[in-house]
Amino acid sequence: MPQTFKFQQVDVFSSAATEGNPLAVVTGADDLSDAQMAAFARWTNLSETTFLLSPKHPDADYRVRIFTTTRELPFAGHPTLGSCFVWLDNGGIAKADEVIQECGAGLVRIRRDGSRLAFAAPPLLRSGPVEHDILQRLATGLGVKPEQIVGSQWADNGPGWVAVMLASREEVLAIRPDYVALKGLNVGIVAPWTGPDAEADFEVRALTGDLNAEDPVTGSLNATLAQWMIPAGLAPRKYTARQGTVLGHRGRVSVEQIGERIWVGGDVQKCVSGSVTL
């Protein structure tokens, strides 16, 4: 029997609608099956679609399930901020000063700073040096010389990111990826943005090898980059990143380390509001 649910589509990591990363959110989705969620996520054809449910953990304010067009993710960044925005917009009231989201990766803290939301970067599932054969594959897939990769690190908090640093923003923007050569790797690319025209501290790109596509603005990747770059002295404790330039987007991600916790934040814009029948 068809059921009707509240639905919103929001734009995350942008101060102006259509410049960030879109997210579809279905609320009150407890009665939907795994198959229905997966089918709707395929239909929206967005990088992620989320479903808000009643929490199971006593400390959580809500629970979210995150689907790409091909699989379910335990955690993702822009779906975390967008889902929290929709939960609050639908009358959600947090039990404490911070909103506590429950997802496949566990509990994620989200704080409000005016109109901006920021999530606490979850623990890394994998870190450490990148193997030589993987670095060779990365160089080939990115179309760069191995010596252009000035730093690299496994930086996975769920989606499987491997991160590389290049010397300049121009090199990052010049990359035209060969997804066949990358063989399914999810690659984050970062470089400092220097000079008088710099609008952020770093330029970031996210290549999702499982989808053979570039993601406009990626919270999970920016979280892992910060967990690598700040302790390594490659980035200050507070900085901004631009992402989506090659795709015509102007995503802006704010990163700040407070104590031992790294916060990844940005603005969220409501673009579509209504209902969906499934």
Average pLDDT of the residues of the chain: 96
**Over the stretch 28-79, which tens digit does the pLDDT of each residue have?**
999 999 999 999 999 999 999 999 999 999 999 999 999 999 999 999 999 9
Q: Supply the pLDDT for residue 275.
A: 97
Q: Supply the pLDDT for residue 211.
A: 84
- Domain covering 4-120+265-277: architecture: Roll (3.10)
Residue with tokens 């193997």: 131
Q: Supply the pLDDT for residue 97.
A: 93
**Over the stretch 147-192, which tens digit does the pLDDT of each residue have?**
999 999 999 988 899 999 999 999 999 999 999 999 999 999 999 9
48 noted as active-site residue: yes
Name, in order, each residue with C-beta under 8 angstroms of 125's C-beta and a sequence gap of 6 or more: 156, 157, 158
Name, in order, each residue with C-beta under 8 angstroms of 26's C-beta and a sequence gap of 6 or more: 5, 6, 7, 32, 40, 49, 50, 51, 52, 276, 278
Domain with CATH 3.10.310.10 in the chain: 4-120+265-277, 126-264
Q: Supply the pLDDT for residue 158.
A: 85
Residue from 19, 48, 102, 256 carrying the catalytic annotation: 48
In this structure, whether the domain defined by 126-264 belongs to CATH 3.10.310.10 is answered with yes
Q: Supply the pLDDT for residue 52.
A: 98
**Over the stretch 183-230, which tens digit does the pLDDT of each residue have?**
999 999 999 999 999 999 999 999 998 889 999 999 999 999 999 999
Rounded Cα–Cα distance for residues 193 and 201 (Å): 5
**Over the stretch 110-137, which tens digit does the pLDDT of each residue have?**
999 877 999 999 999 999 999 999 999 9
Q: Supply the pLDDT for residue 182.
A: 97
Rounded Cα–Cα distance for residues 227 and 149 (Å): 19
Q: What percent of the chain has pLDDT over 90?
A: 96
pTM: 0.94
Provide mean pLDDT across the span 234-248: 98
Provide mean pLDDT across the span 85-92: 97
Provide mean pLDDT across the span 102-112: 95
Tokens standing for 95?
A: 């039990």
